[in-house]
Amino acid sequence: MAFLRRHGFGLDRAAAAGAAAFLLALGADLLTKVYAVSHGGLGRVVYNDAHAGDFPRRVAMSLLALAVTAVIAGIGRRHGFGRLWGAWVGVGLLVGGVLGNGLSRFIWSRGVPDFIHTPSPDIWNLADFEIAIGLTGGIVSMAVTAIVVYARERSTRS
C-alpha cells in the first residue's frame, strides 16, 4: 500500500480491503477449479460454455461496478456515510468472481468447470457464489449505511 501511495494512488483502508477481497476471491476460485478438475470435485465436474463470448462484456461490467463503487464511496464520504467497507468488499468479490469465470474459459478449453451441486438442478463453482454474495452484500451494505445516516440526520434535527 505504501508503494501505491508513493506513486499517487491513495487507496484508503476500505478500498484496500476490497482489493484484498478481490485477490482472495480470484485465487480461491481458480484453486478450487484446479482441484475439482484434477480430483473430481464434489461429485462430477460439468463444463459450462454457455456464455463463451461474453468475457469482454463481463470485464467492462466489472470495471463499471468498480467505478460506480468508487464514485458512490466518494460521494458517501462527503455526506457522512463513512468508508463503505461492505461496498468495497462486495465489489472485490464480484469482480474476482467475474474475472475468475472469465479466465477459466481461457484455462479450460471445454468451458468453465462447475462442481458444486446444489439442491436445485444447477451446478455452480465458487466464482458463482462470489458474484452473488458480492453483488448482494455490496447493495445491502450501501442501503444499510444510507438508512443509518438518514436516521442519524433525522435524530439530530429533532
Is residue 139 assigned to a domain? yes
Task: Note whether 47 and 113 are within 8 A (CB).
Answer: yes
Is residue 113 assigned to a domain? yes
Is residue 3 assigned to a domain? no
Q: What's residue 34's pLDDT?
A: 95
Is residue 12 assigned to a domain? no
Is residue 152 assigned to a domain? yes
Q: How many CA atoms lie within 13 A of 24 on its CB side?
A: 13
Is residue 1 assigned to a domain? no
pTM of the model: 0.78
- Residue span of the structural domain in which 27 resides: 18-157
Q: What's residue 51's pLDDT?
A: 63
Four-residue CA torsion sign, 122, 44, 58, 25: positive
Dihedrals φ, ψ of 122, to 5°?
-75, 150
Q: What's residue 118's pLDDT?
A: 82
Work out how many domains the chain is built from and give that number. 1
Is residue 11 assigned to a domain? no
Name the stretches of the chain with pLDDT < 70.
1-11, 41-43, 50-55, 79-82, 158
